[in-house]
Amino acid sequence: MRKNGPAVFKGRHFQEEVILLCVCWYLRYSLSFRDLEKMMTERGLSVDHSTIARWVLRYAPLLQTRMRRHLRHPNRSWRVDETYVRVAGRWTYLYRAVDSEGNTIEQDHRFIKKRIMASQWFRSIEGALHTIQGYEAMHMLRKGQIRWVKRGDIIGQVRFVNQVFGLTA
């Protein structure tokens, strides 16, 4: 653990880069927490899957909040769409807004539902809210909706996430 890292990582037993790597991989790819636990073990780190789950619940909403100020501005013509997801065994509404160019302001249902099914749904509303915020943040980044990062620029996306968390100058 570093002594002078960003305040949001204070008190963590792992380096900030490891935490962000696990959070971003979980939010970007169809991986389970146990998959990430095994991947970290292959790299010589012993991280429990429940620790990674807590990291996602803690840092996914922060990622989304910090990314919002860097989004490209949507146009004025938009629509609202809705779908359902299972949370704690009950069906719950999930809304999204789409502008006339196809840019989402909120959830992109096809991507979100794919990720939710891979993670085997949610156990609580709070967990669903926090995780879906992270899914959407990574999806907006991947789609090129961030002003400073081009679509398909993986290295630029990693640098951007590190920058919004204060890990790079």
Helices (H), 78-124: 109-118
Distance of alpha carbon 40 from alpha carbon 82, whole angstroms: 37
Indicate whether 123 belongs to any domain. Answer: yes
Indicate whether 2 belongs to any domain. Answer: no
Indicate whether 24 belongs to any domain. Answer: yes
- 123: tokens are 């156990």
Indicate whether 150 belongs to any domain. Answer: yes
Indicate whether 1 belongs to any domain. Answer: no
The neighbouring-strand residues paired with 94 are 83
Indicate whether 42 belongs to any domain. Answer: yes
Distance of alpha carbon 3 from alpha carbon 113, whole angstroms: 39
* Residues belonging to the chain: 169
Structural domain including 146 reads 7-164
Which tens digit of pLDDT belongs to each residue from 39-56?
A: 999 999 999 999 999 999
Q: Which amino acid is at 125?
A: I
Q: What is the mean pLDDT of the chain?
A: 80
Number of separate domains in the chain: 1
Which tens digit of pLDDT belongs to each residue from 50-103?
A: 999 999 999 999 988 888 888 766 666 666 667 767 777 778 777 666 666 555
In percent, how much of the chain has pLDDT > 70?
A: 73
User: 157: phi > 0 → left, psi -120 to 50 → alpha, else beta; which?
Assistant: alpha
